[in-house]
Chains A and B, each alone.
Chain A
Amino acid sequence: MQTFSIPKSLKENMIYTFCPGCDHGVAIRLIAELLDEFGLKENALTAASVGCSVFLYNFLDVDCVEAPHGRALACATGIKRAQPDKFVFTYQGDGDFASIGLAESTHAAARGEAITTICINNTLYGMTGGQLGPTTVLNQITTTSPHGRNREYHGFPLKMTEHIALCDGTAFAARVSLDSPAAIIKAKKAIKKAFEVQLKGLGFGFVEILSSCPTNWKMNPVESHKHIREELTKVYPLGTFKDLTEGL
């Protein structure tokens, strides 16, 4: 009996171009597995963001629109309103979702657009070389904060899941991580719920994934998963912050 095979929604014979140990590969596989489970491959449309997450369309075999930086949810809103029967999702990094696209992200959630968003939070700008981002935790060293994030000078990190969960239009908001096989299985369940709220038309579905960036954190992949488990989850607690499907 085969217990694992490569999902059908991924392109054939593709090889991920991410750095060794990057959690993007796992996140994209989880999305592909769920597209397979729900049979949505032919019916899905996505708006790609800017950052390492943009490579989604090289690996996932679904139709995709490239949005300007941060505007993936604005593009996705247009797609969903023009074609309400399609399954629309976005896959964004934290720099795209929480910094330049904060207005688009918050308003899409507040309007309660039936869209699913997966936000990969690696606490810095990964593609451009590891600069300080809105989600960088206090005392974290990045290329633009060589002495660590200082609370007087740089301020505090932004907690997106709590912020999105406060919007009335949000149907599901959860924060998960990918640091161990158990966490990956929990993450898949959360993404599945975020897919379901869209399919049921309940509103905006949001999942923030704490992801490692071994290259810019200057750690090996195993150490960076340990860093997520021991340090990041103190600042960004895991869990479901809003779930409208509970009472149904």
Chain B
Amino acid sequence: MPNIVIDPKKCKSCYLCVEACPRKVIKISNISGKTGSNIVEFDNTENKCTGCALCAISCPDLAITEVNK
């Protein structure tokens, strides 16, 4: 099943992955990160993720460390 791995220590809450995801499976969580803003989380409850890796390509901080198809 397609999934992504987000490293919460690396996420700086820029939300470029939220903008890049065509299926909108990356959401802003309730956990605050090291910049003070809320970090992102992977929410694939509807199995919409296709493993296209557009989120990982656009992440400037390599916080999305792994994408599986």
Contact = CB atoms under 8 A, between A and B. Distances in A.
Contact of B60 (A1, A6, A26): A26
B47 interface: no
A180 B20 contact: yes
B24 to A, nearest CB: 14
Interface band, chain B:
20 to 34
Contact of B12 (A6, A21, A185): A21
A86 interface: no
Contacts of A225: 16, 19
Contacts of B14: 20-21, 214, 220-222
B10 A15 contact: yes
A220 B9 CA distance: 20
Contacts of B35: 20
B12 A2 contact: no
A151 to B, nearest CB: 33
B20 A181 contact: yes
Nearest to B18: A222
Contact of A181 (B10, B12, B58): B58
Interface band, chain A:
20 to 34
Given A4-B64, A4-B66, A4-B67, A221 B15 contact: yes
Given A15-B9, A221-B15, A3 B51 contact: yes
A181 B69 contact: no
A238 interface: no
A168 B59 CA distance: 37
Contacts of A185: 57
B57 A6 contact: no
A29 interface: yes
B62 A6 contact: yes
A34 to B, nearest CB: 14
B62 A29 contact: yes
A135 B51 CA distance: 38
A16 B7 CA distance: 13
B68 interface: yes
Interface string A221-232: 110010000000
A16 B63 CA distance: 10
A41 interface: no
Given A26-B59, A222-B16, 4 more contacts: A3-B69, A20-B12, A23-B60, A25-B61
> Which are the 9 A-B pairs with shortest beta-carbon distances?
A25-B60, A21-B14, A20-B12, A4-B67, A221-B14, A4-B53, A4-B56, A181-B54, A20-B14
Interface of A: 1-6, 10, 15-16, 18-26, 29, 180-181, 184-185, 214, 220-222, 225
11 contacts: A3-B67, A4-B57, A4-B67, A5-B66, A6-B62, A15-B9, A16-B62, A180-B20, A181-B20, A221-B14, A222-B16
